[in-house]
Amino acid sequence: MSKKTILQAIRRNKPQSTMQSAQEDNYRSPSWSQEECKSLFIKNLQLQGGEIGTLAELQTQPVDFTREDLRAEYANAPLEKLNRLESVLIEGNFGVAENGAIWLEDKDLPQRIIPFITQQLIIRLHPSAIVATMHDAYRKINLTGTGYGVFISGPSKTADIEQCLVYGAHGAVKLTVIL
């Protein structure tokens, strides 16, 4: 293994600057009110192709993973079964106003692949759980003890064919958020 040689080369070559840690970012996010955060979140989510909906309006009957029993049932489900999922409902941890992203992590997901393999992803989010920026988001996240976490800000999309935007490249074709 080359670990030793690589680290030696780095020690030999790295700039001998006295520079210490980059100033701990004391950036303060804009002081948007809860209402402002909510409306910005909605605007940015829609810009990324996400939709805002209500449970009543839903065209489908999602598999409700906010329910403990269904989470348990799907915890060991084989891929073929997951691949047949039409729509799922997941409880989001918090949202980010500046870009419409929502944080999900292991504890919210019976299996990590579920928000991707389903055709439609529905996330329920408490309207008060929206922070202003990604700075706030990363101050909030505690990854220790978690194996996996993801920000989702829209349906899966691609523009690899002549820059034409198409939703549903590999992951969910549709993202609906219920506030």
Partner 1 sequence: MNSTHAENAAQFLADEPRANWHDETLWIVRQKRDKAAANIPEWERLRQQASAIKDEVLANLDVYLEQFEAAAIKNGATVFWAADAAEFNQIMLNIIRRHKAKNIVKSKSMLTEECGLNRFLQSQGVEVVDTDLGERIIQFRHEAPSHIVLPAIHLKRQEIGETFHEKLGTEAGNSDPTYLTRAARKHLREKFLAAEIAITGVNFAVAETGSVVVCTNEGNADMGVQSAPVQIHCMGLEKILPRQTDLGVFTRLLARNATGQAVTSYTSHYMQPKPEGAMYIVIVDNGRSARLANPKYIQSLKCIRCGGCMNTCPVYRRSGGHSYGYVIPGPIGSILAPHTHHYPDLPFASSLCGSCSNVCPVKIEIHEQLYHWRQDLMQHRQTSWLKRMAMKATGIALSGNRRYNTLGAVARWAVAHLPRKLLYLPVNTWGVGRELPQAPQQSFKAWYKTNNPSKKQTS
Please list every residue from 96 through 135 that binds partner 1, using CB under 8 A: 96, 98-101, 111-113, 116-117, 133-135
Identified binder of partner 1 from the candidate list 34, 66, 128, 158, rule CB under 8 A: 158
Write out the two tokens for 62. 């999602």
Identified binder of partner 1 from the candidate list 95, 171, 177, 178, rule CB under 8 A: 171
Would you count residue 172 as binding partner 1 (CB under 8 A)?
Answer: yes
User: Which residues 15-44 are close enough to bind partner 1 by CB under 8 A?
Assistant: 15, 17, 19-23, 25, 27, 44
Write out the two tokens for 35. 């209402």
What DSSP designation does 27 have?
Answer: P
Residue 82 vs 129, nearer CB to partner 1: 82
Q: What is the rounded distance in angstroms from the CA atom of residue 25 to the CA atom of residue 17?
A: 21
Q: What is the rounded distance in angstroms from the CA atom of residue 131 to the CA atom of residue 137?
A: 7
Which phi and psi (to 5°) does residue 29 adopt?
-65, 155
Identified binder of partner 1 from the candidate list 7, 52, 55, 72, rule CB under 8 A: 7
